[in-house]
Amino acid sequence: MNETPVQERRVRIANRMGMHARPAAAFVKLAGRFKSEIVLARDGLEVNGKSIMGVLMLAAEQGAELTIRGEGPDSEEALEALGDLVEDGFGEAGEEP
């Protein structure tokens, strides 16, 4: 049996504008670099972390808690990179509108 354990990381949205189109696109682009299946969840709603529409459906505002799950050969690396991206505010945490 060659099953890969599911990795999980909880993160909080740091940037003031939440996960709008630009941060969602950055998340999906980064998730797409990994072979593992990536799931993003909020309040019981689970979406494909490689789908821009799915990620936007979460409507995650500043302070929202998300769970990132990965299953596959590079899931640990994926969760580290994706979690850091979210927690670093997608590079726009200190930006003013």
- Residues known to be catalytic: 20
Q: Give the pair of three-digit tokens for residue 70.
A: 């990965």
What contacts 52, CB < 8 A, 6 or more positions away? 24, 25, 28
Residue 79 CA to residue 76 CA, distance in Å, equals 5
